[in-house]
Amino acid sequence: MCGITGFVDFNGNSNIQTLKSMSDALLHRGPDDEGHEIINHHKTQIGFGFRRLAIIDLTAAGHQPMKSPDGRLTIIFNGEIYNHAELRTILESKGHSFKSHSDTEVILHSYMQWGISCIEKFTGMFAIALHDSHQEKLFLIRDRAGVKPLFWYFKNDLMLFGSELKVFHQHDAFKKEIDRGALSLYFQHGYIPAPHCIFCDTYKLIPGHFLTIDLKNKNVQTTCYWNVTDFYNKPKLKISESDAIEETEKILSKAFKYRMVADVPVGVFLSGGYDSSLVTALLQKDSMQKIKTFTIGFEEESYNEAPHARKVAAHLGTEHHEFTCTYQEAMDIIPLIPEISDEPLADSSIIPTYLVSKLARKQVTVALSADGGDETFAGYTKYAKALNYLNKLKQLPSFAKSLSQIPAFFWQKVSPSNLAIPDRAHKLQLILKARHPVEAFNIITQGMTKKEVQNLLLHEAKFPLSAFEEFEKLKTDDLLDHFLWHDYNTFLPDDILQKVDRATMAVSLEGREPLLDQHIVEWAAQLPASFKLNKNVPKYLLRKLTHKYIPKEIMDREKMGFQIPVNKWMKNEQQELLFSCINKKALNHSGFLNAKKVEKMIFSYYSGNNNVDFYRIWKIFVWQLWFNKWID
């Protein structure tokens, strides 16, 4: 796990000092080593900067930037190729020889053997920058699920790229102009979906894609090499429940074992929920040593998962480590949120994720998380609720469905004028007008409607196209497939995985996501819906498999999620902190939000109105924190 950054400067105005400053901004991602190189290609400068967290081959042989034996290729790479040993064996049989045991060198030789199509052979998480001097091209490559981040910027014949946005601020030519369309998306969803980014001319490389920049003509092109849609569009597997459980266990076990390969200590985040418990159970059953597990608890009992995790750890016999987070320890993280996540991200669970990562880093360098299980095996309660809701709407008589055609002025009369209170009447109208189940599900799950975002912003709200609008490529008739596809392509990479990457790397911990192995995702996409959501029982198949190793009475409990009581804290002990960011002067200074409407929201919140949606307040608070850090 590392941090990568660099530039392609067609003007030739960059230098090694700027490149070093860019990589120094990623010190937390790679404290073990650094490397910098500028390659001069005619009048163009290609800069490669690198920070290393040594995981595979801890020797100097793993240093980056790394070159091919003939000097033709130069690479920097963040992530892990879990099947690098198998690929090495194949390459050696074809005449390749290696100087190190690093997976970086395997990537180079794979490209030498198979060209850019080599990425289809990789099992892993990765963000790669590779320069091919013969083809006169630079490739930027991102893994299938989007576990590893990769941002890029292109303006005035200058391309910048990096693992985090903060590297761009180190280059004098970077223009910090807010993308108003991206800001609209942030308030709509609580995160900014790829390929968009908070800054103009700045993008996230979409998962499962690679970008090619032609150094001869400056042309930039993105290419999809893997898409989960292809697997949802396949016919459903005709398989019995028992056979499905057996095959699922085989696929999961192989993927989980891959994630334990490292030359440093490895542990597992254990919440006591089904996903993390199953990961731990399958790893522990095949291990001669006790797996190190880590859990964070909270003083507030309704948010505390630690007792559940403790029971699971005791049953499985892991080496368990538990930390109880105090109110003050959690609150101390809030001012750090804009530094940890340098793009606005309103997921408050970044706080406990950071704290459990900090705990684990004292013992291990790699920690396995269990993200992705909800999005691939239908773990969220919202799926059953949305299915029920949309099925009921289908049964409405035609006159009721025509409610969507009622003029807007009527809905304005029955809709609340206070943005702190969700406009459910207008939302129902939008759902009734939806052209597709994915569109309806998106409206159900989004935090604010487009109309509400417009009322919040001072400028015209724009909503640029993203993966939310790609639903026409999905051919399956199953409603649940539509929901899972939606979350896999949006919420998972742009909220969950961004949060985990930033929180783990902030403390120099490598986070691995075993449930997002492509073979698991491809398998799950082809399973019948009843194996995922069965009579409102979420993650049906994973539950059955988990009960093979952990008694049902230990596992069965209400899903809690990884949250902390920020609502309670902001309403009481942390009023001053909230007001320091959200006040008329600060709002007018930043100049993007309607100060009067925000003040009305805050008044409703503190006046005890139980209908107030605190998540809206939190989004504004995080935005203002971010603005103060990176713009002001």
Which of 7-16, 252-261, 324-333, 492-501 has the lowest average pLDDT? 324-333
CA distances from 289 to 265, 292, 317 (A): 12, 9, 10
Fold of 230-378+486-555: Rossmann fold (3.40.50)
Average pLDDT, the chain: 93
Output the pLDDT for position 60: 87
- The CATH 3.40.50.620 domain(s) of the chain lie at 230-378+486-555
Which of 260-264, 440-444, 559-563 has the lowest average pLDDT? 559-563
Of 34 and 261, the one with more pLDDT: 34
**Taking CA 623 as the corner, what is the angle to CA 503 and CA 18, rounded to the nearest 5 degrees?**
65
Q: Is 240 helix (H, G, I), strand (E, B) or coil?
A: coil
Q: Say if residues 111 and 130 touch (Cβ distance below 8 Å).
A: yes
pLDDT in tens, 292-314: 999 988 877 777 788 999 999 99
- Closest C-alpha to 220, from 140, 300, 121, 102: 140
405 — pLDDT class (breaks 50, 70, 90): low
- The C-alpha R_g of the chain, in whole angstroms, comes to 24
143 — pLDDT class (breaks 50, 70, 90): very high
Output the pLDDT for position 434: 87
Output the pLDDT for position 401: 60
User: Active-site residue 197, yes or no?
Assistant: no
- Residue 522 to residue 88: CA distance in whole angstroms: 25
Q: Which two tokens stand for residue 578?
A: 């909230």
CA distances from 309 to 276, 319, 356 (A): 9, 12, 13
Cα of first residue to Cα of last residue in the chain, in angstroms, is 32
Q: How many percent of the chain have pLDDT more than 70?
A: 96
Burial 453-468 (b: 16+ CB within 10 A, else e): bbebbeeebbbeebbb
Output the pLDDT for position 299: 75
568 — pLDDT class (breaks 50, 70, 90): confident
Output the pLDDT for position 560: 59
- The CATH 3.60.20.10 domain(s) of the chain lie at 2-226
pLDDT in tens, 576-595: 888 989 999 999 999 999 99
| Predicted TM-score (pTM) of this structure | 0.95
What contacts 493, CB < 8 A, 6 or more positions away? 145, 146, 194, 207
pLDDT in tens, 591-616: 999 999 999 999 999 998 888 999 99
Output the pLDDT for position 495: 97
Q: Is the pLDDT of residue 392 over 90?
A: no
Q: Is the pLDDT of residue 410 over 70?
A: no
Q: Is the pLDDT of residue 617 over 80?
A: yes
- Residue 129 to residue 111: CA distance in whole angstroms: 12
Output the pLDDT for position 435: 83
CATH class of 2-226: alpha beta
- Residue 30 to residue 5: CA distance in whole angstroms: 12
Mean pLDDT of 9-35: 97
pLDDT in tens, 23-60: 999 999 999 999 999 999 888 999 999 999 999 888 88
Output the pLDDT for position 106: 98
Q: How many percent of the chain have pLDDT more than 90?
A: 79
